[in-house]
């Protein structure tokens, strides 16, 4: 795992020597991603930069790397997990290798297969490859977007980097906050790909390549998620056997490392499956890592310990108070290179810190919830379909239910949960997934945004939520997938991409820790995507086939438990421990000087939440994180 950056002139003329200094400035901003080595290489119109975290071929994998003829050069972030198999194929075709690194497989793969090499790579990656013979810059990103790739074209030059913050180190480039991106962030709690918080920068979508050749920048998709086959006639026993083989192989591939590795073990279904499979492949006890909380209402450590005992792991546990997360949450939010209003960045950051004390690589369960219906929102989506099939009178009665339910200041608020469900149920299916997750609705944004800043046309649902519509309507013809199957696609291509994977990448790489996701192995993920929805969500039973396939591997208490995830009491913190910070960052004078928000409307939200009249944790935390990010940006600029 590493950090990459570079420059390439659009007109093909040679870069000046200053390009080396500019590229090094970008890689210096990525030093946390690669503390073990650095390199910058300039030749003609291109300059490639690299920061290295040594994982494979520690002595021979330095970058930027060149092929043996010197005609191809690459800077690469990530891992190609099937590089040993590809190396054999390429060697049989006459390729020669000077290292044991997977990086060299990218160079030789491109030489033999051109841009189609991406179709053969099973991994997590983002890279930029310079082909001097064709005077072509070829860049690629993995199928699910596990590794980031940002770029900007200004002043006749294309710049790229692993993080937006690195791009802003270019003194001759300008980066301004995009009002439309702010409005999307307020709705989504992140800025959806390919848009970024900056008007002048974009994110290369997953499963895409980018080519700069003859002054033209082109992007193209090279892979797509399969459409579910609702008519699959295989028995569940046959499917379970295939799933066990695929996931076992996915875990085995991800255990290849020249440095110590372990696994994030929460005690949930996904991380426990990964741990159990690792134990089967390992001759020594697997190193497992978890966070425990002193507060019983948040703590799940007994499940992690049960899994550790079942598999005989070398278990490492850090005991914290919930307020420890509150104390570091603002600092972690500031260190994200893009606004991200997911409060679980705090425990993820802490878990990464604990894990990095012992190992350099960790496996995790990311992707399972999205591919296998792990979230309650999948149940809500199905229940919404049933709700909409009811006659008018029962629907009117149920619509009055929220006012009869209690509201609490803790993690769970029954009234808010039912209100959210009913709002989602009465939303068209194309926006139902997002309606269950939205922080500030278009109506709320019209209230809190300053009139001069808000774009009334953009805040129309059709425009604001265009990314969701794009992913929901992706498969053609429309009959190719049911509404619920389309919801899976939205979660993978939107929420997982720009929330879950960003959170894990940034929090882990801030500690120079590489995290691998077996559930996002190409073969295993394609298998899950092709399955009928009923195999993943059986009634209200989530992860149906996954649990059935690994029932013999999982300890009984873990197999039977419900998913909880990191439970973050943001609502209570905003009334207590984080209230002074909120009062400071959302103060009327500050907002008035900034010009983005209506201070009176924001104050009304704060007062209602503090007084307990409404649970406004999501909009307030989303606003607070944006202010933290904007202040961090201003500090960097000064």
User: What is the full DSSP assignment across 1-43?
Assistant: -EEEEEEEESS-PPPPTHHHHHHHHHHHTTGGG-BTEEEEEEE
The mean pLDDT of 391-397, rounded to a whole number, is 75
Cα distance between residue 383 and residue 87, in whole Å: 49
Mean pLDDT for the chain overall: 91
Q: How confident is residue 427, by pLDDT bands cut at 50, 70 and 90?
A: confident
Residue 548 parent element (H or E): helix 544-549
The rounded percent of the chain whose pLDDT value lies above 90 is 72
Residues 354, 318: Cα–Cα separation, whole Å: 7
Identity of the highest mean pLDDT range in 38-47, 91-100, 390-399, 565-574: 38-47
The pLDDT tens digits of the residues spanning 240-278 come to: 999 999 999 999 999 998 889 999 999 999 999 999 999
Mean of pLDDT values over 562-575: 77
Q: Which fold, 236-372+487-560?
A: Rossmann fold (3.40.50)
At residue 413, the pLDDT reads: 67
Q: How high is the pLDDT of residue 567?
A: 64
Displacement of CA 504 from its chain's centroid (Å): 6
- Every domain of the chain with CATH number 3.40.50.620 lies at 236-372+487-560
Which one, of 360, 366, 365, lies nearest residue 514 by Cα? 360
Give strand ranges (E) for 432-508: none
Across 307-316, 361-370, 387-396, least confident range: 387-396
Helix/strand/coil percent split, the chain, to 5: 45, 15, 35
Q: Which residue has the tokens 């103060």?
A: 587
The residue with greater pLDDT, 460 or 389, is: 460
Residue pair 105/56 in contact (Cβ under 8 Å)? The answer is no
In this predicted model, which residue has the larger pLDDT, 532 or 479? 532
Banded model confidence at residue 420, pLDDT cuts 50, 70, 90: confident
409 pLDDT higher than 60: no
- C-alpha to C-alpha distance for 251 and 602, rounded to whole angstroms: 47
What ranges in 336-452 are assigned the alpha helix state H?
Answer: 345-356, 368-371, 376-388, 392-399, 414-425, 429-435, 442-448
Residue 103: its pLDDT value, please? 95
Q: Which two tokens stand for residue 605?
A: 């939200």
Q: At what angle do helices 617-637 and 599-611 cross, to 10 degrees?
A: 130
Where does 2-221 sit in CATH, by number? 3.60.20.10
CA atoms within 13 A on the CB side of 139: 32
Confidence of residue 297 (pLDDT cuts 50, 70, 90): low
**pLDDT reading at 580 higher than 50:** yes
How does pLDDT run across 306-364, given as a tens digit for each residue? 999 999 999 999 988 777 888 888 889 888 999 999 999 999 999 999 999 999 999 99
Two tokens at 124?
């997590």
Site of tokens 């905003």:
574
Which pair of tokens denotes residue 612?
């307990």
SS3 label, residue 510: coil
Bond before 111 cis per omega within 30 degrees: no
Instruction: Please compute the mean of the pLDDT values over residues 190-211 and round it to a whole number.
Output: 98
CA gap 103, 126 in Å, rounded: 11
**Residue 245, pLDDT score:** 98
- In the chain, residues under CATH classification 3.60.20.10 are 2-221
Return d(Cα 574, Cα 602) in angstroms, integer. Answer: 14
Residues in Cβ contact with 428 at an 8 Å cutoff, skipping those fewer than 6 apart: none
* Per-residue pLDDT tens over the stretch 80-122: 999 999 999 999 999 999 989 999 999 999 999 999 999 999 9
Phi, psi (deg, nearest 5) at residue 17:
-55, -25
Joined tokens for residue 131: 């082909």
Residue whose token pair is 């850090």:
318
pLDDT at 510: 95
pLDDT greater at residue 638 or residue 540:
540
Q: What is the pTM of this model?
A: 0.94
């Amino acid at each position: 795992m590493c950090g990459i950056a570079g420059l390439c002139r659009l007109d093909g003329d040679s870069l000046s020597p200053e390009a080396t200094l500019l590229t090094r400035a970008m890689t210096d901003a990525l030093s946390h991603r690669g503390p073990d080595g650095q390199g910058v290489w300039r030749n003609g119109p291109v300059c490639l930069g690299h920061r290295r975290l040594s994982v494979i071929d520690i002595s021979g994998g330095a970058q930027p790397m060149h092929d043996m003829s010197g005609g191809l050069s690459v800077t690469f972030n990530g891992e190609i997990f099937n590089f040993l198999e590809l190396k054999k194929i390429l060697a049989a075709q006459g390729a020669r290798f000077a290292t044991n690194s997977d990086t060299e497989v990218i160079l030789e793969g491109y030489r033999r297969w051109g841009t189609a090499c991406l179709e053969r790579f099973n991994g997590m990656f983002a890279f930029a490859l310079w082909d001097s013979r064709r005077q072509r810059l070829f860049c690629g990103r993995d199928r699910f977007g596990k590794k980031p790739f940002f770029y900007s074209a200004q002043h006749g030059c294309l710049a790229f980097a692993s993080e937006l913050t690195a791009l802003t180190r270019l003194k001759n480039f300008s980066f301004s906050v995009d009002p439309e991106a702010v409005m999307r962030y307020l709705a989504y709690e992140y800025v959806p790909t390919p848009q970024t918080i900056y008007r002048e920068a974009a994110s290369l979508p997953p499963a895409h390549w980018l080519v700069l050749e003859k002054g033209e920048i082109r992007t193209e998709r090279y892979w797509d998620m399969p459409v579910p086959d609702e008519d699959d006639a295989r028995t569940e026993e046959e499917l379970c056997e295939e799933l066990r083989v695929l996931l076992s192989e996915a875990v085995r591939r991800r255990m290849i490392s020249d440095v110590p590795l372990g696994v994030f073990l929460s005690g949930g279904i996904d991380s426990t499956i990964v741990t159990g499979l690792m134990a089967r492949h390992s001759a020594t006890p697997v190193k497992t890592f978890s966070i425990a909380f002193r507060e019983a209402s948040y703590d799940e450590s007994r499940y992690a310990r049960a899994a550790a005992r079942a598999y005989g792991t070398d278990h490492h546990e850090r005991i914290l108070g919930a307020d420890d997360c509150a104390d570091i949450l603002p600092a972690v939010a500031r260190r994200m290179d893009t606004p991200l209003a997911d409060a679980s960045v705090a425990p993820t950051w802490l878990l990464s810190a604990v894990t990095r004390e012992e190992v350099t690589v960790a496996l995790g369960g990311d992707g399972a919830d999205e591919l296998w219906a792990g979230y309650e929102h999948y149940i809500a989506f199905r229940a919404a379909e049933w709700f909409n099939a009811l006659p008018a009178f029962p629907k009117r009665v149920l619509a009055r239910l929220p006012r009869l339910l209690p509201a609490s200041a803790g993690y769970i608020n029954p009234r808010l949960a039912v209100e959210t469900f009913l709002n989602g149920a009465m939303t068209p299916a194309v926006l139902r997934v997002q309606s269950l997750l939205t922080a500030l609705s278009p109506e709320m944004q019209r209230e809190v945004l300053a009139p001069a800043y808000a774009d009334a046309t953009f805040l129309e649902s059709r425009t604001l939520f265009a990314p969701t519509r794009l992913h929901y309507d992706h498969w053609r013809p429309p009959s190719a997938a049911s509404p619920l199957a389309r919801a899976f696609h939205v979660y993978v291509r939107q929420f997982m991409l720009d929330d879950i994977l960003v959170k894990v990448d940034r929090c882990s790489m801030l500690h120079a820790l590489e995290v691998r996701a077996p559930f996002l192995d190409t073969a295993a993920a394609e298998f899950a995507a092709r399955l009928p929805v009923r195999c993943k969500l059986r009634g209200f039973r989530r992860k149906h086939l996954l649990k059935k396939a690994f029932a013999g591997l999982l300890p009984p208490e873990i197999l039977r438990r419900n998913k909880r995830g990191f439970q973050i009491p943001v609502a209570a913190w905003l009334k207590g421990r984080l209230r002074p910070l909120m009062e400071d960052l959302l103060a009327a004078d500050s907002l008035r000087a900034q010009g983005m928000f209506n201070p009176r409307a924001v104050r009304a939200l704060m007062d209602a939440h503090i007084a307990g009249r409404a649970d406004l944790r999501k909009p307030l935390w989303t606003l607070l994180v944006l202010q933290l990010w904007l202040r961090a940006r201003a500090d960097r600029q000064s």
